[in-house]
Amino acid sequence: MIFITAKFKVLPEHADDWAAITADFTAATRAEPGCLWFDWSRSLDDPDEYVLVEAFADDAAAGAHVNSPHFKAAQSTLPPHLVETPRIVNFKLDQSDWSELGELAVNR
């Protein structure tokens, strides 16, 4: 899988509306056949920063994503709401889902 984490520094006046601003892009991406997950979280330390955790099944799925009409649209509609270019970490992993964090195992 292709595992991606990106940090988006949103302009303060748009931070509370980020979920609505990205709603169409998020829904369209989640509907892609090769999208494993596409999840936004708001930073606990900086209310103007959002973290996107996303994964795609393989190179073909990731390629289809960046070449999709909704990705192309996001390239023009999202930057006006941002303070700076998003930062990204991108890895190819030999797995297709989350692993358990054994060090914090829950035994009920």
Q: In what order do the strands lie in the sheet with 87-92?
A: 35-42, 49-56, 2-9, 87-92
Q: What is the DSSP secondary-structure string of 44-96? A: SS-TTEEEEEEEESSHHHHHHHHTSHHHHHHHHHSGGGBSSPPEEEEEE-S-S
Could you tell me if residue 106 is inside a domain?
A: no
Could you tell me if residue 53 is inside a domain?
A: yes
Which pTM does this prediction carry?
Answer: 0.93
pLDDT at 88: 98
pLDDT at 94: 95
Task: Read off the pLDDT of residues 36-68 as tens digits, 9 standing for 90 and up.
Answer: 999 999 999 999 999 999 999 999 999 999 999
Domain count across the chain: 1
Task: Read off the pLDDT of residues 69-98 as tens digits, 9 standing for 90 and up.
Answer: 999 999 999 999 999 999 999 999 999 999
Could you tell me if residue 108 is inside a domain?
A: no
CATH number at residue 13: 3.30.70.100
Could you tell me if residue 107 is inside a domain?
A: no
Could you tell me if residue 100 is inside a domain?
A: no
Compute the distance between CA of residue 60 and CA of residue 6 in angstroms, rounded to an integer: 20
Could you tell me if residue 62 is inside a domain?
A: yes
The parent domain of residue 35 ranges over: 2-94
Could you tell me if residue 103 is inside a domain?
A: no
